[in-house]
């Protein structure tokens, strides 16, 4: 699998992977929306954001989003926020997710990040074990406050 920066042309494939998430309370729209197109364009242009895809034989089979956050703590340290890690169901267990995460960890080291962090839904017990095998530690409690419509 080749991991690369996503382009606008990858949007539908990325959204297909996100739509397959059965834990979400509200599903993603079934067609690509203008808001999603604008979001992808903004993310692709943002030097502090990455949407990565795993391309296997010309097909997007994995994705994740990375945001780079500067903090005052850790002596002005850079934090790598990893989100929306997804691998197509038929390719799970083949090491593609680990390959994708390793690319993010390498990028974090190169950029001098002091920490890589992520949140994962409490219902994802298998994902928690997988992240732990990748070296992550369940050290904090994540909290969210949704604003507006049921998200």
pTM equals 0.92
| Residue 14 to residue 29: CA distance in whole angstroms | 13
| Residue 134 to residue 119: CA distance in whole angstroms | 14
CA atoms within 13 A on the CB side of 131: 21
Please report the pLDDT score of residue 150 as a whole number.
Answer: 53
Q: Are 36 and 44 in contact (CB under 8 A)?
A: no
Classified as helix, coil or strand, 88 is coil
> Which one of 3.40.630.30, 3.30.365.10, 3.40.50.10420, 3.10.20.70 gives the CATH number of domain 2-133?
3.40.630.30
Please report the pLDDT score of residue 148 as a whole number.
Answer: 76
CA atoms within 13 A on the CB side of 30: 0
Closest CA to 69 of 81, 57, 83: 81
Burial of 62 (0-12, 13-18, 19+ CB in 10 A): buried
Q: Rounded to 5 degrees, what are φ and ψ at 85? A: -75, 120
CA dihedral of residues 72, 73, 77, 83 (deg, nearest 10):
-100
Please report the pLDDT score of residue 149 as a whole number.
Answer: 62
Please report the pLDDT score of residue 45 as a whole number.
Answer: 97
Domain boundaries, the chain: 2-133
pLDDT in tens, the chain (151 residues): 999 999 999 999 999 999 998 777 677 888 999 999 999 999 999 999 999 999 999 999 999 999 999 999 999 999 999 999 999 999 999 999 999 999 999 999 999 999 999 999 999 999 999 999 999 999 998 888 888 765 4
Q: Do strands 59-70 and 49-56 pair parallel, antiparallel, or not at all (unpaired)?
A: antiparallel
Positive or negative, the CA dihedral 25, 29, 35, 41 is positive
């Amino acid at each position: 699998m080749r991991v690369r920066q996503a382009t606008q042309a990858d949007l539908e494939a990325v959204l297909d992977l996100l739509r397959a998430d059965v834990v979400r309370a509200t599903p993603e729209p079934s067609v690509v929306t203008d808001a999603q197109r604008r979001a992808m364009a903004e993310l692709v242009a943002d030097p502090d954001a990455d949407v990565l895809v795993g391309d296997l034989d010309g097909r997007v089979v994995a994705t994740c989003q990375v945001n780079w956050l500067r903090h005052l703590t850790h002596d002005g340290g850079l934090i790598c926020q990893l989100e929306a890690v997804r691998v197509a169901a038929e390719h799970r267990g083949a090491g593609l997710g680990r390959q994708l995460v390793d690319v993010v960890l390498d990028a974090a080291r190169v950029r001098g990040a002091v920490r890589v962090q992520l949140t994962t839904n409490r219902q994802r017990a298998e994902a928690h074990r997988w992240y732990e095998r990748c070296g992550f530690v369940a050290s904090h409690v994540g909290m969210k406050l949704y604003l507006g419509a049921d998200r």
